[in-house]
Chains A and B, each alone.
Chain A
């Protein structure tokens, strides 16, 4: 049975879509059957970051409304055969994404894939709640910056109360992914450091993605960074994060600093 992962943050522009594409591709590159799902109705971008924008015929809402079958709407990646995309709709009618419809499609996706990765819209409204609703695991993308950390904390509260798992009194698995990290600025105490963020959020660390030109280049090319430039530092960081997501224990390296953060992996939030 598939694992459903939500990539969420509260705050906008922190790197959710980039992360969904890169983690999804990295998992697929390691042989897992992966579907990435865009929940950002009206502002879809995952298709663009994945380079599939001209191949979208049917989207999530077409499937919900019964105008297309799920198999017709799934777009198979041309580079990584085990990676598929379900695009969001560009409609402005956000209510078209119904709770029942989402539940039905998530059940279908669980049958077909090993991993279903949901790219959440920013905010704490309906779209974000629907994206997290069926998740087993949450990747909370956080920038080392005060408002991003605050919003992440808010999202943690929602994950612990508004998800299906929470309502069944089960624990949803939560990880922080620190993105757009600038080691130099952290060393000069201009930005929050990794241990600051982890201590404040009391969550385990999935990975640290450096601020990098390679990420921009990848999205310009329409290719997840783990595919377009696998040797680059953000790609290696995403590949390691993907392996941790599957349960492997891997030493945490921060590319620019080469500090060992192995111990930080084991921080846990008291429920």
Chain B
């Protein structure tokens, strides 16, 4: 192998980088994917229920799951613009 060939060879193969990135990424995704699926579904369904009465932006609905050993908590944080919801409820019938 020529002197230059040696350099070319070491920089040409990008597969080892791909392999390492995948291993790190998948280790992470395998643990979070099951719980994040639930959060995504909950977020959509909660948004749909609220949206029947009040106009809310998708970005203003924040659903978070905190998993503990014995108990997990679900935090739902919804930002509603303008007047208090009670008035909107009355107005919309």
Contacts and interface: CB of A to CB of B under 8 A. Distances in A.
**Secondary structure type dominating chain A contacts:** helix
A220 B12 CA distance: 35
Given A146-B21, A193-B15, A200-B22, 4 more contacts: A153-B29, A157-B34, A188-B12, A189-B15
B25 A189 contact: no
Contacts of A192: 15, 18-19
Interface in A170-196: 186, 188-193, 196
A161 interface: yes
A154 B33 contact: yes
Interface in B48-93: none
Contacts of A191: 15
A16 to B, nearest CB: 21
A3 interface: no
Interface in B1-59: 12-16, 18-19, 21-23, 25-26, 29-30, 33-34
B6 to A, nearest CB: 14
B7 to A, nearest CB: 14
Contacts of A161: 34
A150 interface: yes
Main SS at interface, chain B: helix
Given A146-B22, A200-B23, A154 B15 contact: no
11 contacts: A146-B22, A149-B22, A150-B22, A150-B25, A153-B26, A161-B34, A188-B12, A189-B13, A189-B16, A196-B15, A196-B18
A189 B14 contact: yes
A190 B26 contact: no
Nearest to A187: B13
A192 to B, nearest CB: 5
Interface in A56-105: none
A90 to B, nearest CB: 29
Contact of A190 (B12, B25, B33, B34): B12
Contacts of A196: 15, 18-19
A231 B80 CA distance: 67
- 10 closest A-B pairs by beta carbon, nearest first, are A189-B13, A189-B15, A146-B18, A196-B19, A153-B26, A192-B15, A200-B22, A157-B33, A149-B22, A191-B15
Contacts of A200: 19, 22-23, 26
A188 B14 CA distance: 9
Given A157-B34, A192-B19, A196-B19, A150 B13 contact: no
B5 to A, nearest CB: 12
Nearest to B25: A150
A28 to B, nearest CB: 36
Contact of A186 (B15, B26, B30): B15
Contacts of A154: 29, 33
